[in-house]
Structure 1
Amino acid sequence: MAEKVIFPESTLGVIGNSPNGIELLHQAKQMGFKTVAYGSNAESPTLQAADLGIVGRGNDQVQLQEFAERCDLVIYESEQVSSEAVKFIERFTSVPQGSEALELMQDRLLERVFFEQMNVNIAPYATVVSLDDIYQSISSIGFPCVLKPIQKGFMHRQLVLRKQSDIAKCGELVEQGTFILESWIPYEREVSVFLFRQQDGTLTFMAPLETYYQEHRLAQVVGPADVPAPIWQEIKKIAAQIGDNLNYVGVLEIAFFVTPAQAIYVKRVVPAMHESGYLYQKISNVSLEEQQIRVAVGMPLVTPQVIQKAALGMVTPEDYPAIKTQWVLKDNWFYHFFRYPASMQPQSKVGYVIVPADDGYAAKEQLDATGIWDQEAKKPAEELPKD
């Protein structure tokens, strides 16, 4: 953990390949830091945004050490960064976020044990190492349910089970590793809370966001979310409990399911930047990126205030032709594209748009009216929420 203030002209390192790194590096330069980025592709926009890019695989200890030794401090920009790589980097430089929370949240089984220790609501689940485990646990888990690998980065494939005969389809998959079988929560909405845990344990909350997913990928965000006061207070209480129990310094995204009966379930914790937080660039007096750098280098945090309401729409390559139409029509749409090179194509997302309005949900309606984010048209028959 960082124990001293890092000043401008010091070198701040960012490890990872997601667009979060691009945003962090632009902010770091604006704040006067020299920047170094580490990733697996020399043409990555993240590496291109840094003063110096170091190319290496996640487990390349020679390159990781060179990267770490050039930095006064390192931030990992997403939950996809290898916790083993972060552990290694910690031997040579300061990583305020640490590796413990990242390692915990990259393993679905460890993550759920962590939640159970705090007695917070999560979806019922069972550990699966064989097909027989599914047959034995299905009576308590129930249908529909989802079979997920315990390592979030191991594979992206998940199976939805809706009836007894679906279990037989899991045989080949469960031979590949350990899984969890998780009940599906019939939720009404998803609410994300971003908070910052400082070096002394102080927690600072940003305004809540409401998120909308399609095909398990983030599609839209509304902020601030219109959450009834009792629900918001309970969500903050649970989020604070989670923050207090993590050995971590930096930004946390904690996502919740809220059911029609107003029951609250923890969906996931991301101990890093998350793309839904891009919306703060327009709705808050301080961006997520600036707050993350401030907490990492030991600066006081800005007291967050909502300055306007807005909705965000993530843009996929398939959306780009329709986005061109809006480009010449909308005077209140703000565009941000990641500029991936050909060597990194195809990408699931190429950028995002933010639409400010007097009401965030009215801004979402403006996005929906274009048909670009038509959830019913894009929604697959087997869609279930992913953590």
Structure 2
Amino acid sequence: MILPGQTIGMVGGGQLGRMFAIAATQMGYQVVVFCETEQEPAAQIAHHCVFGRLNNMDAVEAFATQCDVITLEFENIPAATIAKCQEYAPTYPSSDVLATAQDRLREKTTLQNAGLPVAPFVKVVDAESLAEAAKVVGLPLILKTARSGYDGKGQHRITTLADASDVDWTLCDEWVAEQLIAFDREVSVMVARTADGRTSTFPIFENDHVNHILDVTMIPATLSDTVRQQASEIAITAAEALDVVGLLCVEMFVISSEGGEQVLINEVAPRPHNSGHLTIEACHTSQFEQHVRAVCGLPLGNTEMVCGGAAMANLLGDVWGDETQTPPWDDALAVDGVKLHLYGKVHAKPGRKMGHLTCVGENRDAVVEKVREARRRLTPSS
């Protein structure tokens, strides 16, 4: 057990590392961040920083020797980096978990072998194998790179086999052809798991996406009690199958069938997740505090909601328009109950996550409208 006063290492200096560091600091931990520059969001607030590239083993060693436990904010980290960290301190998630999370084929196969519901998929390497895969999963289908890719990057919708001519096959040696799922809604389940196997899930998040990027998250999700229980059990089983210590976000499709609604796993992420940001205000324990508790071996916190409904709206760089402009934050914050979280990123670029707005209240639909209205007041064209 790593108690307050000891040092937690965070690999990654982005907004997830920043919000983790805030939670850890509030609990009395020292936080050292490993990232490339002092301008990164987490570096701005950490107690200590070690700067270097992920493949700089001297820098990794200098970082790891300062830590009592190490965690991370993103999964695309070289295995050698995490292996080096593990030489000096317990590191969660482990290099084995990362190896699975970095490879969609390995990830989906692991989940499928655990008896969990995933969309039918086939390994693809070129246009010829794509044609064979289409015979199995049908058309249209979704083609994804087996490695890397997020927020819709590295993905293609294949409606006819002629669409294969638009694919840059040099991006990845292996691809995944997935059956295109006609879903009603997208939800995500955040589960925390400790090294000794204790688990806890948050209320299920309902998510709206725009251009493959999360736009608005709301709770409670509009699910029956049966489906809600099913989704939570699937997330816990996924965390156990992958042997995750820390947090695991399981993104799912809600689909209708003759027997009623059911859920199907889309993707997983072994870290805090964008959809969980609203837990900072909406739950007794935020996802970031729970992450601290999980990797440090502490009792897991109460994840129940403190309100009837909550919502979060992402703020992308588009809100800034011209980078020289300052958005009218006062106009947005004039919407009753809305709170602002900015990540401290230096450059606002279209599509880049720069912050988020949250609101809690007794009525979910009302707080969703409030965060949307607050964001509309920030948009240059509105």
User: Shared fold (TM-score greater than 0.5)?
Assistant: yes
1:169 to 147, 166, 171: 166
Report percent identity of matched pairs. 24
What's the secondary structure of 2:253's corresponding residue?
A: strand
Tell me the equivalent position of 2:303. Answer: 304
8 A Cα contact 2:190 2:249, kept in partner: yes
1:118 to 114, 120, 142: 114
Q: Which letter maps to 1:310?
A: A
Tell me the equivalent position of 2:288. Answer: 289
1:335 corresponds to 2:363: no
Tell me the equivalent position of 2:353. Answer: 349
Tell me the equivalent position of 1:215. Answer: 211
Tell me the equivalent position of 2:72. Answer: 76
Aligned-residue Cα RMSD (Å) equals 2.3
1:315-365 superposed Cα distances (whole Å, 9 cap, x missing partner): 0121247764742631211001111124x8677111000022222233223
Tell me the equivalent position of 1:6. Answer: 2
Query: Following superposition of structure 1 onto structure 2, how do residues 21-100 of structure 1 map, counting pairs within 5 Å?
Result: 21-100=17-96
Rounded to whole Å, the distance in 1 between the matches of 2:39 and 2:55 is: 19
1:137 to 108, 133, 136: 133
Tell me the equivalent position of 1:314. Answer: 314
Rounded to whole Å, the distance in 2 between the matches of 1:306 and 1:289 is: 15
Q: Which letter maps to 2:89?
A: T
Q: Which letter maps to 1:129?
A: V
What's the secondary structure of 2:218's corresponding residue?
A: strand
Return the offset for 1:69: 0.4
What's the secondary structure of 1:43's corresponding residue?
A: coil
Q: 1:176 to 1:267 in 2, by over 3 A?
A: closer
Return the offset for 1:368: 4.0
8 A Cα contact 1:257 1:267, kept in partner: yes
Query: Following superposition of structure 1 onto structure 2, how do residues 230-241 of structure 1 map, counting pairs within 5 Å?
Result: 230-241=226-237
Tell me the equivalent position of 1:199. Answer: 195
Unaligned runs of 5+ in 2: 322-326
Tell me the equivalent position of 1:264. Answer: 263
Q: Which letter maps to 1:331?
A: D
Return the offset for 1:217: 1.0
Tell me the equivalent position of 2:324. Answer: none
1:188 corresponds to 2:212: no
1:188-226 superposed Cα distances (whole Å, 9 cap, x missing partner): 111111111122212111111111111111111001223
8 A Cα contact 1:16 1:80, kept in partner: no
Q: Which letter maps to 2:335?
A: K
Unaligned runs of 5+ in 1: 378-387
8 A Cα contact 2:41 2:344, kept in partner: yes
Q: 1:83 to 1:218 in 2, by over 3 A?
A: farther
Rounded to whole Å, the distance in 1 between the matches of 2:172 and 2:268 is: 25
TM-score (norm 2): 0.90
Rounded to whole Å, the distance in 1 between the matches of 2:6 and 2:330 is: 44
Q: Which letter maps to 1:245?
A: A
What's the secondary structure of 1:49's corresponding residue?
A: coil
Rounded to whole Å, the distance in 1 between the matches of 2:375 and 2:33 is: 37
